[in-house]
Structure 1
């Protein structure tokens, strides 16, 4: 980056990430949004609940466990919007698709992103874990 370019705002980073996610960008593109020691915490008591550290764990473990149960080609991500204050950004989106067993997954998600230096440093995600347990993990 040359000295004339400014670091994007946290809101812009999250909007760009959500856009890349919704457009089906490849994993390499999605990884580029994250800091090397990023944490992603999923609330609840699902098999994938917990905290994942670093892009390798996030994509290699957390995302991989979800993708193994869903039909990737059926997935749709729709960003409802974001609210930003300082380095924290609240994003709201819908995830829709089919499980490998043919069930319809229709999830409303909220997450608090912390963005520092133009990269996502942490994410705390919340969604309907009962729906996920019933549809995806049963």
Structure 2
């Protein structure tokens, strides 16, 4: 398998684990010292440090009932990114955002994640 094929497969694995709530599957693709940084000022913002904290963040995000629509898995020479359209509805809030979750890879696993959002104020209003 080429480097870019491995990165594509890793991106698809991460997304499928997120969609299906396979927290052990997410944990399996992370380095122990992995981080995940999200913008904004809400319950999921900031940097989660360590693989367990990254999994907890994924669980917290999923607990809000999001639909994680995968638009593309993008690869660079050494890294991978997911292009997503996330939506969710509650009585008092609607989430409808496009985002890129950029993953820095190391030795075939995710070392760090940084998420770029189209609507930080909307995210802040939804994740209260």
State the TM-score, normalized to the length of structure 1: 0.75
> Mapping of 1:77-116 within 5 angstroms?
77-99=68-90, 101=91, 103-116=93-106
Contact 2:26/2:55 (CA < 8 Å) preserved in 1?
no
Q: For structure 1, which segment, 48-57 or 117-126, has the greater mean C-alpha deviation from structure 2 after superposition?
A: 48-57
| Gap regions ≥5 residues in structure 1 | none
Q: Specify which of 12, 15, 35 is matched with residue 18 of structure 1.
A: 15
1:55–1:87 Cα change, 3 Å: same
Question: Following TM superposition, where does structure 1 have runs of at least 4 consecutive aligned residues deviating by more than 6 angstroms?
Answer: 5-8
Contact 1:21/1:30 (CA < 8 Å) preserved in 2?
yes
Contact 2:70/2:83 (CA < 8 Å) preserved in 1?
yes
Aligned length: 126
Larger radius of gyration: 1
1:11 to partner: Cα distance? 2.5
1:49 to partner: Cα distance? 1.9
State the TM-score, normalized to the length of structure 2: 0.80
1:6 to partner: Cα distance? 8.2
What is the aligned-residue RMSD (CA, Å)? Answer: 2.4
Deviations 1:46-81 (A, max 9, x none): 343221111211233x3454455x2x3xx3211110
| Gap regions ≥5 residues in structure 2 | none
